[in-house]
Chain A
């Protein structure tokens, strides 16, 4: 009996600890700066985020983001400020809603068109069979064969 109670207490304690650890918590200013700068592209680097770059430009961008966070600007407002200056290019993952969505759409559309073409061909019976010769064509062929046989003697 005591053993069962101890196990139940242990399970409850574990569940409580897990729930405490997983509780929603307020994002700190530093965490917000990290979140935003992870998404921003360093303009003078090759595929590096502002967070990961050691360049002077990235440092200035991090300082600007930190200042905007201190000014209680939302993430969307801060991102909009960079978008206004650099366009969608400044994001390492540009939003899909812009014209860049075509990059994803065109291959899918081409694949769908190819599948539709193949399906259409298969349904119509594959390679088209030659139609039967008309009586005029048969007569002309017979005449030609007779002529060639006569010429061969």
Chain B
């Protein structure tokens, strides 16, 4: 009787490990669901890189906000930029807002990068890194998708492509439409 129970327990443990491994391998390593995801987006007010005042997350309340952490010294940021530009052009007249947060560099370098790369959405400077820390950023590029309800719905670590951006944005717009 005991041996039978033990045999069943061993099978259950092995099945559990197999299921855990299967789930782990299915996960997108760029989609990290720890920390701030599914929680209210930390509020911030930061100075614009072009010196034209400040921008707050609260200014975009009720909209889908794509927050992108970038830096000029970050090669994957340069790699993902064309996708960001295309997606910005696609949604610029809609309820979708893109916001760039410059990560660990001088405002001069950040501004030069923004101008060189044709970035026309609002870009702000996180001078002391507090906003990046409050979002749990590891390093640029990182992109957060914030819903109209102010909740962080998703996060992408590393260079992002157009399809991933559009899919995440459309999902949030769909949720907003059904509310």
- B108-116, B129-137, B169-177 - interface stretch: B129-137
Contacts of A87 in B (CB 8 A): 34-35, 136
Whether B22 is near chain A, meaning CB under 8 Å from some CB there, is no
Q: How many A-B contacts are there with CB distance less than 8 Å?
A: 59
For B139, give its contact among A44, A85, A117 (CB under 8 Å).
Answer: A44
Contacts of A121 in B (CB 8 A): 3
Whether B6 is near chain A, meaning CB under 8 Å from some CB there, is yes
For A60, give its contact among B3, B9, B39, B128 (CB under 8 Å).
Answer: B128
In the assembled complex, the CB of A118 is this many whole angstroms from the nearest CB of chain B, namely 10
Given A63-B128, A64-B130, A85-B133, are A117 and B3 also a contact pair (CB < 8 Å)?
yes
Task: Mark interface residues in A77-97 (1 if CB within 8 Å of B CB, else 0).
Answer: 000001011110100000000
Nearest B-chain residue to A109, judged by Cβ: B13
Given A56-B129, A117-B6, A120-B3, are A85 and B135 also a contact pair (CB < 8 Å)?
yes
Question: Bound state CA distance, A87 and B136, in angstroms?
Answer: 8
Check A60–B129 contact: CB distance below 8 A: yes
Question: Bound state CA distance, A86 and B135, in angstroms?
Answer: 8
Among all A-B residue pairs, the 3 with the closest Cβ atoms: A87-B34, A85-B136, A60-B129
Name B residues whose Cβ lies closer than 8 Å to a Cβ of A. 2-3, 6-7, 9-10, 13, 17, 34-36, 39, 42, 104, 128-130, 132-139
